Amino acid sequence: MTEQTTTNQPGSGDTSELSGVDLARVALQQVRLAARNNGGEARAPRRRRATTVKRDGREPAGFAAVLQGLMADRAWELPADGGSVLDRWPDIAAAVAPQLPHHVTAVAFHPETGQLDLRPDSPAYATQLRLITARIVFTAKEAAGTEAVRTVRVLPQGSAPAPRTAPEAPAVAPETRRRR
């Protein structure tokens, strides 16, 4: 089962010269023959077997993964972003303008809309707040470390924020009796 090939090699007594493709074929056949004689057969690459690891809960885990597991198991909740924004309002306001914390109060934060309600103590500060709204939003995002604050609502001087509940149905006036 040995394959014999007859080639025209220069110097083998044949007068015809090999060139180009014929020369490449001869070289390839000689390399294959030498590889077989030396025991170098082409082998298929070995497949790696997939190993499954059964975990028993004692493997090392990262701190964040452990903390998330505890929070899920015990139904703990993260603190709301709004609380940190309202708590940090004096620092946020001082970072925007040094006089702002003395004249503007953060009244409410609505996390579902990202709206921060501010109440100035004068109409002049209400105008200033409207002009620097973008800077307030940017500074609040940096201070809270989240994208919680998206808009600022400037309330009129001395007013309380409007409640965010569904509008109530108008009360029906009691019927009056007619006397005859």
Q: How many angstroms separate the CA atoms of 4 and 174, rounded?
A: 117
pLDDT beyond 50 at 167: no
CATH of the domain at 92: 3.30.300.20
Q: Give 41-56 pLDDT, tens digit per residue.
A: 666 667 777 766 666 7
What is residue 26's predicted lDDT score, i.e. its pLDDT? Answer: 92
Chain centroid, CA 22 distance in Å = 61
Q: Domain for residue 99, yes or no?
A: yes
Q: Which class for 130: exposed (0-12), middle (13-18), buried (19 or more C-beta within 10 A)?
A: exposed
Q: Is 113 inside a domain boundary? A: yes
Q: How many domains does the chain have?
A: 1
Give me the chain's average pLDDT, please: 75
